[in-house]
């Protein structure tokens, strides 16, 4: 077992899949000569050459459109966004092209495409660079949406995403690139898409989170344990399709559910989970479901103000105490 950063885990996943399948290639802004804005593609140009690691112009609409065309003709592109906030200028290519081609062609074309890059707030990069768009893309029927929180999941899920015949939005959190964790270094390590993972067992309350919010939920759980409150923390890992069965098993044990997400509250992915749980598990609940989300305001640039609008530990702890009353 090796201990590596999230950045290194993602790099290994791409390198291994490019070695395994010559149809896999990477493109995006600064992914080649500069090794990527966050150095996730470090060394790949030297290893695979300029035909498979391609620097693009600053035109997300252009290179995402190009990747959709390449995917429909049998290649397996990986597109890196410098930040998912920039994916908004390629919304038509992602939603109307990648998301609809299989249906519109009557199944004649698949789109084995991975769109990946950084996202999230908390680093004072302002309102236009801090979006967490997983709920936006999860609203598109054909798109798979993945949000890893730990290096082992980042590697295993990215490899699975590259092998998928569906378009995948692989949304990484900027704050986690330097986070270290154990990652298997032998064999072909894959993590199945659509399966969550219990990161901390407990019996008092269920916390469901994703990406960086999983780390906040775990930190809150450790504080609550000092008062004898044992929170079970589920890392959802895949937002769509999500692992309802794992949540159901946990709620049947704890009878209380708090959802933690960085999305804004209106129509965040947690709203769908809350609806499904109350619809199918109403008799298991001993308290109303609570969500801890980003606040419904543009992301502040000021550091203190930004932290105040994030789903921080204090707000999670308060939500847990509320559902336990």
Name the strand (E) or helix (H) holding 268: none
Catalytic, out of 17, 29, 80, 129: 129
What gap in Å lies between CA 81 and CA 31, rounded to an integer? 9
Residue of 137, 156, 73, 103 whose CA lies nearest to 269: 137
DSSP-derived secondary structure letter, 123? S
Residues 6+ apart with CB under 8 A from 76: 21, 23, 24, 25, 112, 113, 114, 162
Spatial CA neighbour of 154 closest among 2, 5, 1, 3: 5
131 is known as an active-site residue: no
- Name the token pair of 146: 């993945």
What gap in Å lies between CA 274 and CA 43, rounded to an integer? 43
Residue of 60, 80, 172, 261 marked catalytic: 60
Q: Is there a catalytic annotation at residue 60? A: yes
Phi, psi values for residue 155, rounded to 5°? -70, -50
User: Please, are residues 122 and 310 in contact by the beta-carbon 8 Å criterion?
Assistant: yes
- Say which residues have a Cβ less than 8 Å from residue 81's Cβ, sequence separation at least 6: 28, 60, 87, 115, 116, 117, 118
**Catalytic residue positions?**
60, 129
């Amino acid at each position: 077992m090796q201990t590596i950063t999230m950045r290194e885990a993602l790099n290994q996943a791409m390198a291994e899949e490019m070695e395994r399948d010559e149809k896999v290639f990477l493109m995006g802004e600064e992914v080649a000569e500069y090794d990527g804005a966050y150095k996730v593609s470090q060394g790949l140009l030297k290893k695979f050459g300029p035909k498979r690691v391609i620097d693009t112009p600053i035109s997300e609409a252009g290179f995402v459109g190009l990747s959709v065309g390449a995917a429909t003709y049998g290649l397996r592109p990986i597109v890196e966004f410098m930040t998912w906030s920039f994916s908004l200028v390629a919304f038509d290519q992602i939603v109307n092209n990648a998301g609809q081609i299989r249906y519109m062609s009557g199944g004649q074309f698949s789109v084995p495409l991975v769109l990946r890059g950084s996202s999230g707030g908390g680093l004072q990069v302002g309102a236009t660079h801090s979006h967490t768009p997983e709920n936006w893309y999860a609203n598109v029927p054909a798109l798979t949406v993945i949000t890893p929180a730990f290096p082992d999941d980042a590697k295993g899920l990215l490899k699975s995403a590259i092998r998928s015949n569906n378009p995948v939005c692989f949304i990484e959190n900027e704050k986690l690139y330097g986070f270290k964790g154990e990652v298997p270094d032998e064999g072909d390590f894959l993590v199945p898409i659509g399966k969550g993972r219990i990161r901390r067992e407990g019996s008092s309350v269920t916390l469901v989170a994703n990406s960086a919010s999983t780390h906040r939920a775990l930190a809150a759980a450790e504080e609550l344990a000092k008062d004898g409150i044992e929170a079970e923390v589920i890392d959802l890992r895949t937002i769509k399709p999500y692992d309802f069965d794992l949540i159901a098993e946990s709620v049947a044990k704890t009878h209380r559910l708090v959802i933690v997400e960085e999305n804004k509250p209106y129509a965040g992915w947690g709203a769908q989970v809350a609806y499904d749980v109350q619809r199918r598990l109403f008799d298991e609940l001993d308290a109303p479901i609570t969500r801890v989300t980003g606040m419904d305001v543009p992301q502040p640039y000021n550091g203190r103000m930004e932290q105040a609008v994030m789903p921080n530990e204090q707000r999670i702890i308060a939500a847990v105490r509320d559902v336990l009353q």
